[in-house]
Amino acid sequence: MDKKFSLAALKGEPLYVVDFPLPEGTLFGAVLPPPVPCGELLSIDPSAALALEGVKAVFTAKDIPGENQVNDLAPDEPFLAERRILHPGHPLALVVAESEEIARRALPLIVVEALGERPVFDPREAALKGRLHAPPEVLSWGEPDKAWEDSFWKIQGRADSGDQEHLYMETQSALALPLPYGGVKVFSSTQSPGGTQKTVARILGLPMHLVTVEAFRLGGGFGGKETNANSWAALAALGARLLNRPLRLSLNRREDMAFTGKRHPYSTDYSLGLDREGRILSYRVLFHQDGGAAMDLSLSILSRTLLHATGAYRVPNGRATGLSCRTDHVPRTAFRGFGAPQAFFAIESALFQAAETMKVPLEELKERNLLREGDTLPYGKTLGKETLPASWKKAKALFRWEETEARIEEYNRSASWSRKGAALMPIHFGIAFTYTPLNQASALVNVYTDGSVSVSTGAVEMGQGVSVKISRAVAETLGIPPSRIRMESTDTSRIANSSPTAASTGADLNGEAARRAALLLKERLLAVAAELLGASPEELLFRRGLLERGGKKTTWSWERVVKEAYQKRVHLSALVHYATPAIWFDGKRERGEPFSYYVSGTALVEVTLDTLRGTFRTDRFQVVHDVGSTPAPEVDRGQIEGAFLQGLGWLTLEESRVTPQGKMITDTLTTYKVPDFSSCPGVVDVRFLEEEEGGVRGLLGSKATGEPPFLYGIAGYQALWKAINAWGRPQPFQGIAPLTNERLLNLLVQREEGKP
């Protein structure tokens, strides 16, 4: 194992928790799920499991030395079930054994007595029963009711979007090591080492300085390892501390899919009022959010839903109401987009229905209502220079929208058993944590005497390329090749109180902190060089590792200046804290500037629908996206392409199903369908918006690409609906997702009647 670990490190391969060399005496854990979806827990008898050879312990709630609580925001989620079973994935006990196989064999030997109750899985039913995580949240602006009465066109409907499995490559995993001074170190697959540290400390009854959490590269996250990683890390730490031996806990794929939270399903009612020409006057929307059995991050997610309720459109009067409904599902959690996709899906459904009712092209209606400079958003923010109109105009021209429409119309007239559809999707997405205190980060940059550089931040690399962006920012600032820089793992003993790597802020926050730390170091080193050369620091700079004076190379290398600085006892480390400036939000008034900047773009998606089979293929994905001045275009291109496919999967393929008793039946990749290579568009054309833009941006003038492009999947959904409407007898739009193959086939059959 040690040899494998060393070889992987030497080759630069990703190292996940299950790849780590296991210390001598390492034990293994397995988690006992409940026998009922929810209800009263009467007793747990582990005696038969303890009698199995190789089993070392079975820990339940009574063995917890600290607080039996996972949730940091509200005490509503016991770590191990004590008297109540909250949901089908609520852990009852931790089995610790000499091997993972033995631990799993012991699970069915534990005798559990419980009184099950009928679970509530429908958020609307939960709302009717008063089962809410918090009072309704309302964002209101203008005079929505009066504007509705004054509207010429009045559209009312419903939009339902489902959940989504994170399906990261690396399942939830943790390795915990007891430390001699009574502390514990946890290697965790977590997006939030600071949050995991806090949870482990609370459950073990330890101060945070006795708990260290370290995260190397993750095998994917997408939000599923922000708070969800905490329980599994704490279980590993609990066993390690109580038995004083290392312990590894790693969920298999079935457990991971059944025990962990997913994207929040929403069931939404809307009313959209427009004037005679199709300009939006009023938008009233009620979101029923399925928050699951405990609060987790539901309220923060609901807040972003409300802030993005109007999508990419100008809405002068509106009211958005959010209900976070307490169902008996596994608590829902963060997922790429963090509530904004559900909001965009609702208003896009309303516009699709409006276009059908008014008998006008959907894209014409969208263009008429696009956000522009000077428009005011629902929370009082007035937009400055805005790139959305430019991206829309450029996409229509570059991708020949009018020709596309004409070609598809001709195809649908002549095709036998297939139909085509295409749609344009504009996005306008705010970048920042909606909880203002999270918008801060720290970075530690060390320059060693050989000239090599180490960078530690709170950012966790999970395949999104944040390490590439930060290392390039530091390299550019110092004037040295990126090869001289090592990005360290994320460790709570080096970077304290770190925010999660989430909300598309990882590079903006941590990268800016690292850049500023590098700037301090550069100033110190240039001061040393200036003294040695008898020059002013303003004359000097490092370029590709060589010192230049007045634009001309000198004989001094970066390494030589570093050595001289050390001899002169100049500090070669810098720790810098950065907080995003000028953002604030008054939650009581629902007004403020909650975002640092906005990301805009426009995508065209074309699909071909097989009307006999209910299947489809994506022919084209073409997009004009504002990335600002990106330091890593290849990273951003990959993020845009991957986010689109994930968004398309959410709305057309991915569907979780549970039995009435709460048992998940889509807990493997044979029963849960996700986009694969066959889902990739035949044509992929990603263009970056080159137009100059003023205002605030992120790291080195870039803009985030983690979450915003997910919304382009809605274009695929609308293109599918257009293809459906081109077949058979027209029927009213139904805002329901995902449009699985079964659902597509049913819709096509409904339209078959009356077909010539």
What would the mean pLDDT of 632-660 be, rounded to a whole number? Answer: 97
Question: Please, are residues 664 and 657 in contact by the beta-carbon 8 Å criterion?
Answer: yes
Nearby residues of 232 by Cβ (< 8 Å), 6 or more positions away:
31, 172, 173, 174, 188, 249, 251
CA–CA separation, 597 vs 472, rounded Å?
A: 22
In sign, the C-alpha dihedral spanning 330, 333, 336, 342 is: positive
- Rounded to 5 degrees, φ, ψ at 282 are -145, 140
CATH topology of domain 377-433+595-756: Aldehyde Oxidoreductase; domain 4 (3.30.365)
- Cβ atoms within 10 Å, residue 122: 15
pLDDT tens digits for range 573-587: 999 999 999 999 998
pLDDT of residue 692: 60
Which residue is catalytic, options 707, 742, 752, 753?
Answer: 707
**Does the pLDDT value for residue 7 go beyond 90?**
no
CA–CA separation, 306 vs 591, rounded Å?
A: 12
The structure tokens listed for 78 are 């016991």
What would the mean pLDDT of 292-316 be, rounded to a whole number? Answer: 98
pTM here is 0.96
Nearby residues of 1 by Cβ (< 8 Å), 6 or more positions away:
21, 22
Active site residue 373: no
**Does the pLDDT value for residue 495 go beyond 80?**
yes
Picking from 113-117, 598-602, 646-650, 674-678, which range would have the lowest pLDDT averaged per residue? 674-678
**Does the pLDDT value for residue 201 go beyond 60?**
yes
CA–CA separation, 327 vs 130, rounded Å?
A: 11
Which residues are bridge partners to 28 per DSSP?
A: 97, 248
**Does the pLDDT value for residue 694 go beyond 60?**
no
Q: What is the mean pLDDT of the chain?
A: 95
Q: pLDDT band at residue 11, thresholds of 50, 70 and 90?
A: low
pLDDT tens digits for range 348-374: 999 999 999 999 999 999 999 999 999
Q: pLDDT band at residue 729, thresholds of 50, 70 and 90?
A: confident
Tokens 């007035």 — which residue?
A: 382
Picking from 249-263, 567-581, 726-740, which range would have the lowest pLDDT averaged per residue? 726-740
Distance of CA 526 to the CA centre of its chain: 40
The structure tokens listed for 68 are 């039996």
Cis peptide bond N-terminal to 246, omega within 30:
no
CA–CA separation, 478 vs 572, rounded Å?
A: 13
At 482, the amino acid letter reads P
pLDDT tens digits for range 391-430: 999 999 999 999 999 999 999 999 999 999 999 999 999 9
pLDDT of residue 695: 59
Tokens 């959490």 — which residue?
A: 213
Q: pLDDT band at residue 12, thresholds of 50, 70 and 90?
A: low
**CATH 3.40.50.2020 corresponds to the domain 120-164+264-369:** no
pLDDT of residue 753: 66
**Does the pLDDT value for residue 742 go beyond 60?**
yes
CA–CA separation, 216 vs 232, rounded Å?
A: 16
Which residues are bridge partners to 376 per DSSP?
A: 382
pLDDT of residue 300: 97
In sign, the C-alpha dihedral spanning 316, 318, 324, 330 is: negative
**535 three-state secondary structure:** coil
Of the chain, the percentage scoring pLDDT greater than 90 comes to 93
**Does the pLDDT value for residue 2 go beyond 50?**
no
- Rounded to 5 degrees, φ, ψ at 185 are -115, 135
For residue 638, give the H/E element and its range. Answer: helix 633-652
pLDDT tens digits for range 16-50: 999 999 999 999 999 999 999 999 999 999 999 99
**Domain residue spans in the chain?**
24-118+166-259, 120-164+264-369, 377-433+595-756, 440-579
**Does the pLDDT value for residue 468 go beyond 90?**
yes
CATH, domain 24-118+166-259, list 3.30.365.10, 3.90.950.20, 3.30.420.40, 3.30.70.640: 3.30.365.10
DSSP 170-225: SPSEEEEEE-TTS-EEEEE--S-HHHHHHHHHHHHT--GGGEEEEE---S--TTTT
The structure tokens listed for 201 are 């400390």
Residue ranges in 218-277 assigned as alpha helix (H): 229-243, 253-259
pLDDT of residue 90: 98
Q: pLDDT band at residue 755, thresholds of 50, 70 and 90?
A: very low
What would the mean pLDDT of 275-299 be, rounded to a whole number? Answer: 98
pLDDT of residue 337: 98
**Does the pLDDT value for residue 530 go beyond 60?**
yes
Nearby residues of 373 by Cβ (< 8 Å), 6 or more positions away:
383, 384, 385, 386
DSSP-assigned letter for residue 41: E
CA dihedral of residues 37, 39, 43, 44 (deg, nearest 10): 20
Task: Please give the class, per CATH, of domain 440-579.
Answer: alpha beta
Question: Please, are residues 328 and 85 in contact by the beta-carbon 8 Å criterion?
Answer: no
**Does the pLDDT value for residue 515 go beyond 70?**
yes
**Does the pLDDT value for residue 68 go beyond 70?**
yes
pLDDT of residue 697: 83
**Does the pLDDT value for residue 752 go beyond 90?**
no
DSSP-assigned letter for residue 500: P
Strand 211-215 with 184-188, pairing: parallel
